[in-house]
Each structure stands twice: as C-alpha cells, then as structure tokens.
Structure 1
Amino acid sequence: MCAKAYCVQAESTPACKCGGVLMGEEKMFQPYFLEQMVNMMHAPFYIFADQKEMIQKFGGREIETILFEKNPELVQNAFSKKNKEYPVILTDKVLVFAVFDSGMAEGAIMIAGPVTIGRLSQETLLQLRREYKLGRKSGYTPPVCPLDKFVSGILLLHWHLTGQKLTSAELWQKNQRYYSATVNIQNRISQDIFMRQENAGLHNPYEQELRELDSIERGDTEALKRSISETYEGEIGILAKDPLRSHKNVAVGNITLASRAAIRGGISVEKSFSMADSFIQQVEEIDNVPEVEAFKRESQYFYARLVNEENTRGGEKQNVRKNPLIGQVKDYIFNHLHDTIQVSDIAAHMQVNPDYLSHLFSSQEKMTITSYIRQEKVRRGENLLKYSDYRVQEIAFYLGFCSQSHFARVFQQIVGISPNEYRKKFGNRKKWKMK
C-alpha cells in the first residue's frame, strides 16, 4: 500500500506509480468495494492521474487498456467533462462511460466503462474495432450493462465516494448539459412545430385515439374496428425521416398505449407488458410499411379480444370494479406458471389472509384461484402445442404438472380435447411468437 492514506492499490497490482491519487486526504478507499462493483455492473474501472496517465484499473482487460492508449481523445474528453458535484455519463459511438471527479484527489478522475447497454451485432462490432484502431482480429467485445443497472451502480459509487445521495432523476437532470439534443430541445421543438404547421397540416384528432383505447379497455373489437375506420382530415405524425422507421415508431407508440388500456381493462400488468415486449420486437423484424400497419392493428385487436375474454365469465360481461389485489394475484400466477402454485404461496407473497384472498377472487372473477391457475397453465400449454415442437410430456413438466396424465386430464376438462388431438388440429410447427 502506498504511504499516502488516500491511495488505492489492489493487492495484485504492482507498486503505485504516482504516490496516490484516488481519494482526498483523510479518506481511505477499499479496493474490495470496486472489485464488487465490477462483478455487479460488469464494467471495468480506471483511475487516471492529472497527467492523463492510467495508474490503476479494476476489472479491465488488456484490450481496454489498448483502447484508451490508441484513443487518447476518450480520456481527454473525460477530463474536460469532470464535475466535482456529480458523475458525468458520456457516450462515444456505442460505448458508454461514467466519469467521477467528486471524492477524488486533486487532478484525478475515475472512469467507469466502457460498456454497451445492449448486445451488438457482428457488423457493429467489426465497425467499432475499426473505428477505435483495435483491428478486425482483436476480438474486442465491450461488456454489456443495461442502462438502469449502470446508473444504479454509478449512484452507489458516488454515494460511497462522497456520502451524497442522488436519485436517477437528479443524475439525468444534471447531465442534460452534456447532450446537445437536450440542450437544443426547445429550439428544435419550435422549428419542428413551425415546419409541420407550414407543410404537414393537422394530426389525427385526439378524440379518435381515445375511442380506440376505450374500445380496447372494454374489449369491444367491433367498436375498435369502427374507430380505426373513421375518416378525418388529420394525418399520422412523422416520427422519423425514413418512412419505415416512422411507421415502426408509430406502431410502438400504439402498442404501448394499447397495453396500458388492456391493463385498465383487467389484464395482468406483467402479462400485458410481456405481450407488448413481444409485439414491439416483432415490429422491429418487419421490413415493409404495409405489414407494419397490419401488425399494429392486429396487436390492438389482440389486446381487445384478450380483455373481452378475461372479463367474460359464463357468457356474461363482468362490470364490477376490481380490487387491486386481483391484479396482483394474476401477476403472481403469470410469473410462476412454470411452478407448482399454491393459494397459500400467493397469499404469503401478498401478505394477506388466504381465505380472504380466495373469497375476494372468487366473488370478482367468478372462479376460484385454483381454477384460474389451471386455466392459465392450459392457455400456455395451447401456445406451446401450437407453436413449439416440445413433446406433451415436456410441456406438462414445464408447466409444473406432476405428470403428463395430470396435464392431459386438466387440458381435456378445459379445452374439450386431449393435448395430442389439439396439436394435430391446430399445430403449425412454426416458432411461436405470442405470449
């Protein structure tokens, strides 16, 4: 350990090269903490002296050291953006960094990263290696850290360094000054509104959108069809310069709004969100505008049909306003469909009395919790029989049934035919996309 009290030096690191630069005087920093941050965030951490020389690293690979050496502008940019009050989040192409100056010794900074917030395609990786002078054969692949986890790690480290607590909202608000898009937001909005008023005319009426969402919330596919078919003078907004990208962006917005309307209509939050994730991913795979439009509309109909099915028991529409606990029960079941689910487990998770929960659910859903569990497991089984090649035995165990015969018996009771008959009748042997 360096003689200066504020130096950080991992046990495996050679003697300190600068005499200690990490923390201010009378502060001790434990390398153990940064080592655990590396494990948590999958991000390397580097300490740079005021001469912009790397003097410490945690979790960093040799290839990342080479990246900084061959691209000194990255470190120069970090030093130019350092701020004593809060961490600064920087991006360079697809790489993301965080710069820490607060809590550091005079003239020193810490850089967290580089990471990417999602996995990169092979084409992007090759381009990245070329642009950072690493060579096509270097094999460099940045570590992946989702943005929310990266931000949480940054906030935790800032607190550890300074004792100051920041929220994620405060962090982004303070970082706005470093992003040209946020700095210029008001000017760009004024320009875009002016150009639209001059060239594009009016948007579609807001009331029409409300009618669409209300139809989904009520599970009324006929009303949804009428709303979609309305004629009006307005136009769909232009959300990107490329027409395909613009229509995809509109579809993403419509699907997101439909998922929220479905939740208001009684669909489980987790189920609705998971469906939206799937729908949006499928939109991204489409390569032409007409198919995007057709898929967007079918997604809306899908939600409306699901709401109608969810809220219709015994052929009668249920109009009772549901207790919020009902949604929590459905969320729990949706997240544990692959397990053996007991009512007592749900009640314990929600910290309510099992008998009260059972009575509440039965009175509002017109079926017992156990029956609902079976119904949802069979629904998932139908999808697997339609769209996967799993054997019936595999599906039975996948859904938490004790045996294939038990699954077949419950399936027959609910659907009316056996799993094998169902697959012969409806199976298409294609990769399944829904639910």
Structure 2
Amino acid sequence: MLQPYFLEHMVNLIHTPFHLFSTDKEIIQKFGARDIETLIFEKNPEFVEKVFSQKSEQHPVIFTKSSLVYAIFAQGLSKGAVIIAGPVTIGPLSQEILIQIRRYYNLGRKSGYIPPVCPLDKFVSGVLLLHWHLTGEELSAARLWKRNQQNYTATMNLQNRISQDIFERQESAGLHNPYEQELRELDSIEKGDIQALTKSISETYEGEIGVLAKDPLRSHKNVAVGNITLASRAAIRGGISVEKSFSLADSLIQQVEEIDNVPEVEAFKREAQFVYARLVDEENIQGGEKQKTKTNPLIGQVKDYIFSHLHDPIQVADIAEHMDINADYLSHLFSSQEKITITNYIRREKVRRGENLLKYSDYRIQEIAFYLGFCSQSHFARAFQQVVGMNPNEYRRKFGNRKKWKMK
C-alpha cells in the first residue's frame, strides 16, 4: 500500500519527482514535482499512453525518452493505477540537448526547463526501494535489469548481433593482437618495470586492435578506456591503493574524452600505461623490497583510508578505529609487509599529492599545506624537504606548470 510519507522522503533521497496516475490516466497526486514536470505529462497525452502500455504487473519498468529516464510502477496499487518516477537525467546535459528536450516535450525553448540529476545506480536503488515498499519483494538490481531486458532492443538483439559480427570477422580473416602481448604489458605495469613495458609496447605482431566503434576517433577512445581500465587493475595488483588507482583512471578517462584526434589518443593511451607503471615503480622503490607472500587485505584498506583522507590530519589510531582493529597490530602488520611505518607512509602520500599540486595547480604553497592537513606551511615544507630533497618553492620553480596529461 502506498504511503505518501514514504514517497516524500524518496524525493529527498534520489531527487526524483513522482506522479500517481489513475486508471483514466489522470494525475491524482504528485510528490516533489515542479509544475513544469507535471506539464510534461499534461501536454503529451500520447507519451502518457505509451508509458502506460509499457507497464508490468510484476516489476518496475525503466525506460528513456529523449535523454530523460523514467520508471513506471503498477505493482501493489489499485487496479489500473500507476506511479511514474521521473523525469531525471543521469548526468548534466549540454545546452543543445536541453533545447531538444524542451522541444520534444512541447515545453517551449524559452521555458528554461532543466531536469533533476540522479546517477543511474542511485535511481535504480530508489526504484528497488519503492518496489519493496509497494510489494514486499526484495528485488536485486541484477534481477531488475534481467526483467527489463525485453524493453531494450539492443539487449534482445545481443546474441544475433554477436553471431553476425563474429561471422563477418571470420570471413574477413582478420586477427586480433595476441593475448600474450597484452599480458606482457599488464605484467610490466604490475611490476613497475618501465623497460619491459617499453619493450612489450614496441613488439611487432600479426593482427590488429579490434574496431570498437564505427567512428575511428570513438573506436580509439574506447580502446584507450579499456587499456586504462586494465592498467589500473594491474597497478592495484602491484600494490597501488584501490582508491588511488580508480581515481587516477577516472581522471585519465575523462581526459581521453576531451581529445579530438586519433594520434593524440594513441599517445595519451601509452603515456597512461607508463603513469601506472611509474606509480608501481615508485611504490616499490620507496617501500623497499617487499615480501613475496600475498599482501594482507588489511594493507589495502589502510591505503584506501589514507588516500581518501589526505586532506585531513591522519593518526594511526583513526585508521585502526575505522577498521575496528588493534592499532599496534595494524602498525606491525603494515610495517612488516610494506617496509615503511604507517606514519611515514602517510607523510609520503601527502607529499606526493603536494608534488602534484605544485606541478599542475596554481594554489599557493600555504593553501596546499592546509589542504593536505598540515598545521602550517613550515610543517609541510619540512616534510616535503625530507621526502623530496628540496623545498616546495624550489620544486615548483623546477617542475611547475606542466599542463600536459595532468592527473588528479
């Protein structure tokens, strides 16, 4: 049974408007919807008819129309009634697309309508929560998408398209680049071996990179995204913090999207691999020779915590409390496996972030010091001198303002 209190708080959680429709397709009640969002349904009866035709008595249906995302619920309501969640967009839209949306929904170009933003995973969580509220069924995201497959043409045609593409590939007798060569690249990154990575990238082989889009630029960008993703995982296996590796991948992939020509994409893709290999190499050099035994998963949790709190003053006790573990045991474990104390590792990571900011940002040294949780600029300068061997001013004069292929 629908509880208005529940939907009111759903609006606050996922920033999504909801409309309750009667059997006659009339709006009975709305939650968190602005007048202009109600107009979308009132001025487009054919759209409402199409939405109603897509409803399912068994599960919520998620669909998209003109860049906007909706979900329709017919479960747990009086016969014929539906709830429509949306419209939302899963990310910011360009002015051109906003104008197209206003035209598509007959809102007028001058309406100024901007849809609310809700990331897709958050929207899906809201859909699952409302479905549970209406029916009592604990539906997982995987099962929700499985049940929605019939609504998506690409999903329904997936197997047919795979068979067709593989047949055409076999007919053209084309070969992909060898898997073993790719493994050598990833192994080089995992070990932080710059020389081996250079050698593996320079190998000649029969075969070619797959075509991942009809547009050549888009295809090369897709390959670059895949390479960066694989490199980020190899770096994690090499000892880089999960959060650091993932955050770096986010930055690199966003930068790939900003490139407008194929040669630069190719050069950027290769440099991104070397960025990861150098990170692992630095980790190995500064951490000393590590034990060959498998790293305890607690080590990764420590590194992730430190990476996520670099702008705060960090104490070992804070990390231990967050992980609900004895601080002395954690310190001993970290030191024995990483060959560096947690305190020194924190200082090293803060200085590394400081190096990046000194190279690629215009922040004053005092601002960088406070951003990284140091109590004063002089405290930051001392730590920086100990790790890098020069003070921040000297470092900025020598390495500052390097704009190309910047990373977070």
CA distance change for structure 1 residues 431 and 42 in 2, over 3 Å: closer, same or farther?
farther
Counterpart amino acid of 1:64?
Answer: E
Greater shift after overlay, 280-289 or 345-354? 345-354
Higher relative CO (Cα under 8 Å, sequence separation at least 6) belongs to 2
For 1:286 and 1:432, locate their aligned partners in 2 and report how far apart those are by CA, in whole Å: 11
**CA shift at 1:317, angstroms?**
6.4
Aligned to 2:258: 285
Indicate the SS of the match to 1:312: helix
Indicate the SS of the match to 1:77: helix
**CA shift at 1:56, angstroms?**
1.2
Residues 180-213 of structure 1: CA deviation (Å, up to 9, x unaligned): 0011111111111112222361111111111111
For 2:39 and 2:62, locate their aligned partners in 1 and report how far apart those are by CA, in whole Å: 22
For 2:244 and 2:20, locate their aligned partners in 1 and report how far apart those are by CA, in whole Å: 44
1:10-409 matches, cutoff 5 A:
27=1, 29-199=2-172, 201-313=174-286, 316=289, 319-409=292-382
Residues 236-292 of structure 1: CA deviation (Å, up to 9, x unaligned): 111100000000000001100110111011110000000000000000000000000
For 1:348 and 1:431, locate their aligned partners in 2 and report how far apart those are by CA, in whole Å: 40
Counterpart amino acid of 1:411?
Answer: F
Indicate the SS of the match to 1:113: strand
CA contact (8 A) 1:388 1:432 kept: no
For 1:99 and 1:431, locate their aligned partners in 2 and report how far apart those are by CA, in whole Å: 46
For 1:52 and 1:160, locate their aligned partners in 2 and report how far apart those are by CA, in whole Å: 22
For 1:106 and 1:313, locate their aligned partners in 2 and report how far apart those are by CA, in whole Å: 67
**CA shift at 1:314, angstroms?**
7.0
Counterpart amino acid of 2:211?
Answer: I
For 1:432 and 1:197, locate their aligned partners in 2 and report how far apart those are by CA, in whole Å: 38
Indicate the SS of the match to 2:29: strand
CA contact (8 A) 1:384 1:390 kept: yes
For 1:161 and 1:337, locate their aligned partners in 2 and report how far apart those are by CA, in whole Å: 43
For 1:320 and 1:401, locate their aligned partners in 2 and report how far apart those are by CA, in whole Å: 35
For 2:211 and 2:44, locate their aligned partners in 1 and report how far apart those are by CA, in whole Å: 38
For 1:124 and 1:313, locate their aligned partners in 2 and report how far apart those are by CA, in whole Å: 49
**CA shift at 1:70, angstroms?**
2.2
Residues 88-130 of structure 1: CA deviation (Å, up to 9, x unaligned): 1011121110000000101111000010111101111112112
CA distance change for structure 1 residues 266 and 167 in 2, over 3 Å: closer, same or farther?
same
Residues 408-429 of structure 1: CA deviation (Å, up to 9, x unaligned): 1111111111111111111117
Aligned length: 408
Q: What's the C-alpha RMSD, in Å, of the aligned pairs?
A: 1.5
**CA shift at 1:215, angstroms?**
1.0
The answer for unaligned runs of 5 or more in structure 1 is 1-26
Identical-residue share of aligned pairs (%): 77
For 1:109 and 1:225, locate their aligned partners in 2 and report how far apart those are by CA, in whole Å: 59
**CA shift at 1:319, angstroms?**
3.8
For 1:280 and 1:181, locate their aligned partners in 2 and report how far apart those are by CA, in whole Å: 25
Indicate the SS of the match to 2:118: coil
Structure number with bigger Rg: 1
